[in-house]
Amino acid sequence: MTELDFVSIDASSNIPPYLQLKTSIAEAIRDGVLVSGQKLPAVRALAGQLGVAVNTVARVYKELESDGLVDTLGRAGTRVAQATETFDAELTRAAEAYAAVALKWAQGPDEAAARLSAAMERLRSQ
């Protein structure tokens, strides 16, 4: 089991604890701190380490699995998934798709960036 010493929850933050945890783990996977096949702590262990509810960690693991970042293997635990696409490649692909839609509707870079920023803020606050 891997201790996620780099993860902490800021109780004074406006960002919900589950999103803080999900973002920390996703960034660690993206940055190579957590590598393919590496086992993550058990849900109860990580919840105890961070002082959050077990359901919070379970939700994060489930969402990370839906995002394709981890594989949940029942009693065998949760592991970092095999990388099928790099962060840079996925983000570039998404940016190009977004740019195509913005150009279709005659939106300039400033308008497109403002909409992207607003969408990110909405997602963060969920």
Pull the structure tokens for residue 10.
């800021």
Q: Please report the pLDDT score of residue 2 as a whole number.
A: 60
The tens digit of pLDDT for each residue in 101-125 reads 999 999 999 999 999 999 999 988 8
- Tens-digit pLDDT profile for residues 17-69: 999 999 999 999 988 899 999 999 999 999 999 999 999 999 999 999 999 89
Dist. CA 39–CA 51, nearest whole Å: 20
pLDDT for position 85: 67
CATH class for the domain made up of 17-80: mainly alpha
Residues 71 and 81 sit within 8 Å (Cβ to Cβ): yes
Contacts of 112 (CB under 8 A, 6+ apart): 98, 99, 102
Instruction: Provide the whole-model pTM.
Output: 0.70
Given a cut of 80, whether residue 83 has pLDDT beyond it is no
Per domain, the residue ranges of the chain are 17-80, 87-124
The three-state secondary structure class of 5 is coil
